[in-house]
Structure 1
Amino acid sequence: MFSSRTPGLSRLNKTQKASMAGVAAAGVAAVTFSLVPGNGGSAEAGSTSQSKPASASQVAWSSTTDGSQASAVHAIIAKQHTSAKATASDKTKSEADAKAKAAAKAKAEAKAKADAKKRAKTAASRSATRKPVYPNNLDGWIRESLAIMKKHGIPGSYNGIHRNIIRESSGNPKAINLWDINAQNGIPSKGLLQVIPPTFKAYHVKGTPNDIYNPVSNIVAACNYAADKYGSMDNVNSAY
């Protein structure tokens, strides 16, 4: 009698086992059918019926058919496993590609930010190195003084400053008055705008040299004093 179990069946899942059982049943049915005689082999009426044993070729054909069907089932199962592995492999590859793209995007964004920061730093550095260079003459001193005054909110114009400088010192930054009342009191007026030392000390603007004879320091301190007393150096038209 043929066994209903196929080698390796215990390792199959429920659906696969059911398929194998069906194949085995079909094989048994085929063998049984081969063993039952046809009508041509029936005994005469009234006599006892006897079954003829199946020939060796019939049994061999049934056994071969059953094995071929089992092999077909195994082939289908193997194909399903291969397909499942391929699907899993494709999914893994897709996930890996997505992660690689995300990592590349993040790296590109980080690089763009770093480059932008570097450009901003470079621009700031260039701006610092491009500090205006003023000529070392009356025009340059007045223009540099105006730039400093603008930062500190001190009013005054180029013409107003220039006019008072010409009247007070004729544009000589080392000018000193040794004959007026201030000189008699021991505090002579000095520099382009003839500032006395106490006034220079009180109205000196930080960031400029603490030197009354320095042309820019003298102009800025004098304009700071004039803004406090007269509103602006532009309003000064005589000794102040």
Structure 2
Amino acid sequence: MPVRGKHRRPKTSTLTRGMIAVGTSGVALALPLVSATGAHAATPTQAAQVAQVAKTAAVTTPDVQLLTYKVAAGDTLSSIAQKNPTSGGWKKLYEANRAVIGTNPALIRPGLTLTVGTKTVKSTTSSSTAKATTATAKSAATTATPASATTYTNNLDGWIKQSLDIMAKAGIPGTYNGIYRNVMRESSGNPLAINNWDSNAVAGTPSKGLLQVIDPTFNAYHVAGTSTNPYDPVANITAACNYAAAVYGSIDNVNGAY
């Protein structure tokens, strides 16, 4: 969680750290992944590999989804924890939502949305994907293979993976585990989390988003090609990792408030 003095501007930096708000759409973002060698004619071996993919196109992959609860009048953290066993008890529930609740766990306002745990679901590729792959296999031996776009799931897993791809192109170090660990500590995976109680908030620059970045830091370490909205999950992760790389060497080296 953010603490006093978090994300202060480096004294030697002359960057103006403002931000332009752009609404998030809730739609999975996609970035083109360009092959290092460009388009090329497929070999018979490649055609056989694509054909094999077509046969197994309908696969299931696990996704992690956040479980949330909207606070109603008369609710307490204890009663909410009892209704939602995955929250781990009222203390863990409070720690996971401290950025939303504030400093007093006894004061929760009706209408607040709290994260009460996660669940794993399975998504299966559509039959249309299998048909498209089969068509590609038939023509792979004689036609060039164009660069394809990678799509990402619109959840924490997808946001981290997309950020890692952007970071790899920009030369920013970091791993999935390092990002995930810090996201869960800072915001419990809530991209709209905001800290309205610490010294940064008092100064008019509250910490925002998955990795709780203040606007000046977000703007200074914003990575080109990502949204300029600090609440955008991918932009927030990428900028925070860029900042962590500059100050700590990598987000993997961050194990507490930074």
Q: TM-score, normalised by structure 2?
A: 0.45
Larger radius of gyration: 1
Q: 1 or 2, which has the higher strand percentage?
A: 2
User: Bigger relative contact order, structure 1 or 2, given CA contacts below 8 A and separation 6+?
Assistant: 2
